[in-house]
Amino acid sequence: MADGSLVTSFDPYAVRAQFPILSRQVNGKPLVYLDNAASAQKPRAVIDALVASMEGSYANVHRGLHTLSNEATEAFEKAREIVARFLNAETSEQVVWTKGGTEAINLVANGLGLSIQPGDEIVVTEMEHHSNIVPWHFLRERYGAVLKWAPIKDDGSLDMAAYADLLGPRTRMVAATHMSNVLGTINPVAEISRLAHAAGAQVLIDGCQGAVHATPDVQAIGCDFYVITGHKLFGPTGIGALYGKAEALEALPPYQGGGEMIERVEQDRITYAKPPHRFEAGTPPILEAIGLGTALDWLSQYDRAAVQAHEHALYQHALDRLQGQDWLRILGQAEGKGALLTFAIEGAHAHDVAQIMDRYGVAVRAGTHCAEPLAKRLGVTSSTRASFALYNTMEDTDAFVDALIKARNFFV
């Protein structure tokens, strides 16, 4: 909250009331929104902040000497400070605005690529989202880098012994997710970072899910880079952030050229701004950054442990109700996983399952979830995913299970 107070008794119904869209109906049924891992809904606080900024204090930021520009700049940079505090960064200068998690990873990969030598190694895990795979494949295609894959165990947890064995003198980067968007696995990112650093490698953690459902403390994790995206954190689309250690950001060359990222431009030379502005060419996502700052300020009023306990209770209730259903295969049951239930139904395509569930107002995600190497490892061509958030309730969970059983009955 703006005043820094903490809500100690978590009430999901009070939270839910702050999300206008959750009061609507879909196909004549109350909306049960369980597609949060793809994109979360927006609270009234964020909606109001965006409207207020557009109506009362919008202008381009930095270097403007008029009142509106000064007000917009203050709100824009305050949002950067909120992100830094949320991640427990040492300073807001370690936070770079991007248009999302994907661009943040590409920024780092692009910079690393300029110093990659053929045979240099990048370690990724089998559970990565395509956004944390494809940019490293670019370095394989263009510069001769070698991708190495840390395997997962059958329960969906990362095989840490196998990961450690992959590290060597040619390892340049380890890129790993904080929390799998398919399995819900929460990785031991501090240990991943420690082992990588011992081998002389840098570490990028994809926190697009972990920042929502785990604890994104970058100092405790010890990573060189940490990536978040705003729309999964109850903020707008088109905004994300890259955290980097000061020395890691200082060593990265600029990602894009244009205004804002320079100190001086002359006919025969250019000098670049210091981080974070070195990486923020052009007019930034001003309104979106203010919206994300508002979202994190709003989210921070709730005790994180209480939210995690609530989400896990919803997930466990769904598991309990589905226990003994031999037609259901649950993907990922690692200890301590996040509140995300991905499953396959024998004889049914995930797309069909999701469309049938939508008839009952239940929104879930279907497909490979932008994780094709993981789908291959699991031996599935598609799966359905229900992902819980702090505004979901036990009634949502029951509606999900009821709709799932009805959907299955279509294929019997």
For residue range 324-379, list pLDDT tens digits in order: 999 999 999 999 999 999 999 989 999 999 999 999 999 999 999 999 999 999 99
The yes-or-no answer on residue 223 being catalytic is no
Residues of the chain with CATH 3.90.1150.10: 12-42+303-409
Which CATH number applies to 12-42+303-409? 3.90.1150.10
Helices (H), 88-241: 101-113, 134-143, 160-166, 189-198, 210-213, 218-221
What's the mean per-residue pLDDT of the chain?
96
pLDDT band at 1 (very low <50, low <70, confident <90, very high): very low
Helices (H), 323-371: 350-358
- Tens digit of each residue's pLDDT (9 = 90 or more) over 236-264: 999 999 999 999 999 999 999 999 999 99
CB-based burial, 156-170: b 16+ in 10 Å, e otherwise: bbbeeeebeebbeeb
Cis peptide before 135 (omega within 30 of 0): no
CB-based burial, 118-148: b 16+ in 10 Å, e otherwise: eebbbbbbbbbbebbbebbeebeeebebbeb
- Tens digit of each residue's pLDDT (9 = 90 or more) over 16-25: 999 999 999 9
- Exactly one of 174, 370, 403, 407 is catalytic; name it: 370
Residues of the chain with CATH 3.40.640.10: 49-299
Overall size of the chain counted in residues: 412
> Do the beta carbons of residue 361 and residue 29 sit within 8 Å?
yes
CA dist 205 and 175 (Å) reads 6
- Second CATH level (architecture) for the domain 49-299: 3-Layer(aba) Sandwich (3.40)
CB-based burial, 278-314: b 16+ in 10 Å, e otherwise: bbbbeebbbbbbbbbbbbbbbbbebeeebbbebbbeb
How far from 140 is each of 123, 150, 370, CA to CA, in Å? 12, 17, 20
Rg (CA), the chain: 22
Please give the sequence-ordered ranges of beta strands (E in DSSP) within 12-67, or none if there are none.
Answer: 25-26, 29-30, 32-33
This prediction has a pTM of 0.96
pLDDT band at 5 (very low <50, low <70, confident <90, very high): low
- Tens digit of each residue's pLDDT (9 = 90 or more) over 153-187: 999 999 999 999 999 999 999 999 999 999 999 99
CA dihedral (9, 11, 12, 18) positive or negative? negative
